[in-house]
Structure 1
Amino acid sequence: MPVFERETYLPFARHDVFSWYCRPGALTRLQPPFAGSVVQEPPEGPVDGAESVITLNPPGLMGNSAKAGIDLLGTLLPMSPQAAVTWRSRHEDYEHDRGFSDVMVAGPLKSWRHQRRFEDSGEGTLLKERISYELPVLKRLPRAARQMTQQRFEKELERIFTFREHQTIQDLAFHQSHGSLATQQRHERSDTQAWLEPHEDSTHARINVVAVSGATGMIGTQVCALLGGAGIEVRRLVRPESTAGSAERGDSQPSDDTAIRWDPEAGTIDAEALAEVDAVINLAGEPLAAKFTPEHKQRIQRSRIRGTRLLAETLVRLEQADDRGRALISGSAIGWYGATGADRTHTRTPLHEEDPAGTDFLASVCQQWEKEADAAAGEGVRVVTVRTGIVQSPSGGALARQLPLFAAGLGGPLGRRQVLSWISLDDIASLIVHLTLDSRAHGPVNAVAPHPINGADYARTLGAVLRRPAVLPVPSLAPQLLLGKECTREMVLADQDVSAEKALSLGFGYRHPSLEQALRHVLGR
């Protein structure tokens, strides 16, 4: 039986590393976006008998591109085709602060057993991992073919474990900077959660319980996982099961019993349950990427404005009854500034938070969206509006839509001179959590990387990471066929040079300040 072994040095105490692995969200943070997604984490951590479920994408660049293409096709068809396979694991050999294993009970391999041991190594931890596995039908292949198949399989494993090494170190460093490692927290509430009690002179707000809307969306999933890794209790805001489109908005029904019910269309929310939270992160909203028909525009506006208004008004009432210094971290977008210079009332660049809203459709949505959140700011609620740039991840958004073209060697710039203000998926999730925990954060904050890039350089960088040519200009007609003229103009061809200065001034440390760093991480390249 083949064996794959790996040792990883982590510059953190063994108890902190092991505790993080056992907290909610660890599996989600460790699952690379190029490899698949997490369906179910072990509810009580990787204790004996606990089970987890993930989906696996087809391997390699062509597999990732095929998955992205199928997902895109699914947005156009009444039935969504499936490209991923399901993998179910059971945990065994749990030993507190020492190790645990997982065994595949259903999945694409003949067998799989993954053992982890955590050992002291100086001031840090040595994570020793041993995987014994059997590939299906391998014995029926010629010897040369068996060796080649095994080599390719282990090369894919190395991609995944390299991602996990970087992710683990960066997550632990993030939590250390916010005082939320297990050894930093003063009062243990359970094996996996803790009350955070900062010193009086600390910039960290006292945050113990956070409610999240849009929790099952691409960004919301990572935000919830990061909060769980900080020992913070997460309660997802969910709409009624019968609400059409809830899954697309990222607020589908979860399986846990801590969910907070709300229905923005009906103007109802479980205020009693919301009263127990210290902060609300509001990420729900109708997906933007579709033709801007009158009906779609109305859904975009209503889903953001009504939900934000309901949360803001409820938090104000709760704060008036019980002054806890609650916070509302509400989504917005760099669409606030207008898509191009023609959509702005000024010519200043780069664009800063104090600049006025633009004049196009998305700018008007952002203006109304932020206005609803800001209504709570003068009523004792700390309000932050997060103006998100172009998020980089193969699991959704602009990058996923471009992967099939680039993989086929047909990629190129969608315009050359317009400036793209982007941010990696890990950085947007980390920034949202940082703004939740930092009591200094107020008002709008641009969620963009510190180094924007023009369209030509974006295509060149992506092509270099994928080792594919990136010279063929993509005609604007191509995205217009899918998204329509107005959506293409305001999203795909937007020219927005947006400043990251405020986020930096709040002490946020970017994991991926350069586009190449971000793409290599999320694509495993």
Structure 2
Amino acid sequence: MRFDQTVPHERRFVYDWHARPGAVRRLTAPFAAEVVAEPDVGVTPGGRTRLRVRHLPPPAARWTTEYTAVVPGEEYTARMVSGPMRRWEHRRMFEDLGGTTRVRDEIEFWLPRRSPEFASRAVMSTVARFVGYRHAQLLDDLQFAATHNGGPRRIAVSGSRGLIGTQLTALLSTLGHEVVPIVRSADRVPGAVALDVAGARADTSALEGVDVVVHLAGAPIAGWFTPGHKKRVADSRIGPTRALARAAAEAGVPTFVSASAIGFYGATPPGIVTEDSPAGQDYLARVCAQWEDATLPAREAGARVAMVRTGIVLTPAGGALAQQLPLFRVGAGGPLAGGAAWQSWISVDDAVGIFAHAALSPGVSGPINAVAPGPVTSGEFARELGHIMSRPSAIPIPIAGPAVRLGPEGARLLASASQQVSAAKASATGYEFRHPTLGVALRHLLGQAA
């Protein structure tokens, strides 16, 4: 199989992006596989990548490839060491076209003996979807790299193993930045910044020489809203954020970016809300307000501080979309709670992009909404997802379903939330959305061509 793509960038720029750590993770389609590990030094002979293939039972789901032939600046080849195929070889070449680059993928595979006749066609179809995803992802990531090229920086990131953190770390690494993980003190990772969550203390000395802190870590919000759960959610955000902001201030870190959420506006704010809208009055709104206030030590020290208020992050790798996909696959999907509630969504790549944009752009400060420009109702969301998956979407999901997992208060604040949140500030600061509409986002994330 052979696939060609022409990208509007010079060959050296394109190859160097591929050669850095993080490129494999950025180019792996979330509907097809999950990256377990990739080489720390990027594309070098002998470097191995381990994947977990979705929808295959173990041990067939485990896939390991190794870089073999590598010609720096021109091409590299990865061969399967272990996995579900008898043999797999992927050669990627970079041809200089004078200011643009042709990226060519040549893929050869041999199925296990006695495979059914349809298996080869199924593999070829999946490979084509995977490559289509890679082509779109590469174009968008290279464009982001070209517009955020202010030189290498040292960026400390907490929550780097989470849904957003893994992709943000990968994106920043492909841009040539050094990413330093911020971890719990008990984890004792060499070279990392230690954060004592329980004691709300951070290692100031480890932050010296850091240009940007991006703070993502926090306990999962989903869960039965018991007093204990609510305390964990608040305690994992407010105290650690204040400790990290204080340590960043003492270390002289010039930029501090903290996660927040559109829960700041309350579960059902009236009309369209912007970053200037007041905080809501419910539990999550109060937590978000205190979470953002905890960045004050960094602001008082003169740092540029941005608080990224994320909406509903869409990815088949986890979160709200991943929970809905099984229902839609069997034809049992539909709108939640009547279909009239507004959902301010964002693709995982745009969420990651806005965090990186906030970290690297001097003009971004204060609160910024990480939502797509076009919020939709839950009914519109269900219809679009059903259309793209070629499945019915008319079976309504009663609020009693989420209430079983979240409790009455959690269901009211999360599942029944109706929020129309503006993305105007993100656009005004120069961020270019990859997926401005729901259909574009879902087709990319699920590997469904238009």
Do both share a fold (TM > 0.5)?
Answer: yes
Distance in 2, Cα, partners of 1:339 & 1:266 = 31
Distance in 2, Cα, partners of 1:490 & 1:443 = 25
- Residue 398 of structure 2 corresponds to 475
- Residue 14 of structure 1 corresponds to 11
- Residue 497 of structure 1 corresponds to 420
- Residue correspondence of structure 1 range 95-244 to structure 2 within 5 A: 95-137=71-113, 140-141=114-115, 145-146=116-117, 148-179=118-149, 196=151, 208-241=153-186
Amino acid at match of 1:169: L
Displacement after TM superposition at 1:241 (Å): 4.5
Distance in 1, Cα, partners of 2:200 & 2:392 = 51
Distance in 2, Cα, partners of 1:110 & 1:503 = 48
- Residue 221 of structure 2 corresponds to 288
Distance in 2, Cα, partners of 1:514 & 1:393 = 15
Secondary structure of the residue that 2:244 maps to in structure 1? helix
Displacement after TM superposition at 1:118 (Å): 1.0
8 Å contact from structure 1 (residues 335, 362) kept in 2: yes
Residue number among 400, 405, 408 corresponding to 2:330 in the alignment: 408
Distance in 1, Cα, partners of 2:145 & 2:181 = 21
1:31-52: CA deviation from partner (whole Å, max 9, x where unpaired): 1111121121112111111111
1:429-475: CA deviation from partner (whole Å, max 9, x where unpaired): 00110011111111100111011111111111111111111111111
- Residue correspondence of structure 1 range 210-359 to structure 2 within 5 A: 210-241=155-186, 257-319=190-252, 326-341=254-269, 347=270, 349-359=271-281
1:307-334: CA deviation from partner (whole Å, max 9, x where unpaired): 1011111111122xxxx6x111000000
Displacement after TM superposition at 1:387 (Å): 0.5
8 Å contact from structure 1 (residues 385, 443) kept in 2: yes
- Residue 390 of structure 1 corresponds to 312
Amino acid at match of 2:240: G
Distance in 2, Cα, partners of 1:238 & 1:466 = 39
8 Å contact from structure 1 (residues 327, 381) kept in 2: yes
Amino acid at match of 1:37: E
Distance in 2, Cα, partners of 1:234 & 1:133 = 35
Seen in structure 2, the aligned counterparts of structure 1 residues 310 and 84 have a Cα distance that, compared at 3 Å, is: farther
Distance in 2, Cα, partners of 1:508 & 1:425 = 15
8 Å contact from structure 2 (residues 238, 291) kept in 1: yes
1:154-200: CA deviation from partner (whole Å, max 9, x where unpaired): 100000000000000110011111126xxxxxxxxxxxxxxx1xxxx
Distance in 1, Cα, partners of 2:262 & 2:157 = 21
Secondary structure of the residue that 1:129 maps to in structure 2? strand
Distance in 2, Cα, partners of 1:101 & 1:241 = 39
- Residue correspondence of structure 1 range 49-128 to structure 2 within 5 A: 49-58=46-55, 85-128=61-104
Distance in 1, Cα, partners of 2:316 & 2:255 = 31
Distance in 2, Cα, partners of 1:230 & 1:310 = 29
1:187-219: CA deviation from partner (whole Å, max 9, x where unpaired): xxxxxxxxx1xxxxxxxxxx6100000001010
Distance in 2, Cα, partners of 1:330 & 1:386 = 6
Secondary structure of the residue that 2:395 maps to in structure 1? coil
Distance in 2, Cα, partners of 1:392 & 1:454 = 15
Displacement after TM superposition at 1:84 (Å): 8.1
Displacement after TM superposition at 1:240 (Å): 3.8
8 Å contact from structure 2 (residues 201, 240) kept in 1: no
1:285-323: CA deviation from partner (whole Å, max 9, x where unpaired): 00111111111111100100121011111111122xxxx
Distance in 1, Cα, partners of 2:61 & 2:123 = 16
Secondary structure of the residue that 1:115 maps to in structure 2? strand
Displacement after TM superposition at 1:489 (Å): 1.1
User: How many pairs does the alignment contain?
Assistant: 447
Secondary structure of the residue that 1:157 maps to in structure 2? helix
Secondary structure of the residue that 1:479 maps to in structure 2? helix
Displacement after TM superposition at 1:497 (Å): 0.5
What TM-score do the two structures reach when normalised by structure 2? 0.96
Displacement after TM superposition at 1:122 (Å): 4.0
Distance in 2, Cα, partners of 1:307 & 1:270 = 12
8 Å contact from structure 2 (residues 203, 247) kept in 1: no
8 Å contact from structure 2 (residues 22, 42) kept in 1: no
Amino acid at match of 2:112: P
8 Å contact from structure 2 (residues 60, 83) kept in 1: no
Distance in 1, Cα, partners of 2:333 & 2:135 = 30
Distance in 2, Cα, partners of 1:131 & 1:301 = 49
Distance in 2, Cα, partners of 1:361 & 1:379 = 30
Secondary structure of the residue that 1:465 maps to in structure 2? helix
Q: In the alignment, does 2:287 pair up with 1:365?
A: yes
Secondary structure of the residue that 1:376 maps to in structure 2? helix
Seen in structure 2, the aligned counterparts of structure 1 residues 381 and 84 have a Cα distance that, compared at 3 Å, is: farther
Distance in 1, Cα, partners of 2:235 & 2:405 = 23
Secondary structure of the residue that 1:45 maps to in structure 2? coil
Amino acid at match of 2:226: T
Displacement after TM superposition at 1:83 (Å): 9.6
- Residue 204 of structure 1 corresponds to none
Q: Which runs of 5+ in 1 are unaligned?
A: 60-66, 68-81, 181-195, 197-206, 243-252, 342-346
Amino acid at match of 1:413: P
Displacement after TM superposition at 1:264 (Å): 2.0
- Residue 22 of structure 2 corresponds to 25
Secondary structure of the residue that 2:394 maps to in structure 1? coil
Secondary structure of the residue that 1:52 maps to in structure 2? strand
8 Å contact from structure 1 (residues 339, 496) kept in 2: yes
- Residue 202 of structure 1 corresponds to none
What TM-score do the two structures reach when normalised by structure 1? 0.83
Displacement after TM superposition at 1:270 (Å): 2.5
Distance in 2, Cα, partners of 1:466 & 1:258 = 44
Distance in 2, Cα, partners of 1:407 & 1:102 = 33
Find runs of 4+ consecutive structure 1 residues off by over 6 angstroms: none
Displacement after TM superposition at 1:376 (Å): 2.1
- Residue 446 of structure 1 corresponds to 369
Displacement after TM superposition at 1:267 (Å): 3.2
Secondary structure of the residue that 1:20 maps to in structure 2? helix
Amino acid at match of 2:141: D
8 Å contact from structure 1 (residues 57, 84) kept in 2: no
- Residue 75 of structure 1 corresponds to none
Seen in structure 2, the aligned counterparts of structure 1 residues 511 and 475 have a Cα distance that, compared at 3 Å, is: same
Seen in structure 2, the aligned counterparts of structure 1 residues 109 and 84 have a Cα distance that, compared at 3 Å, is: closer
Seen in structure 2, the aligned counterparts of structure 1 residues 472 and 438 have a Cα distance that, compared at 3 Å, is: same
8 Å contact from structure 2 (residues 15, 94) kept in 1: yes
Query: Share of identical aligned residues, percent?
Result: 41
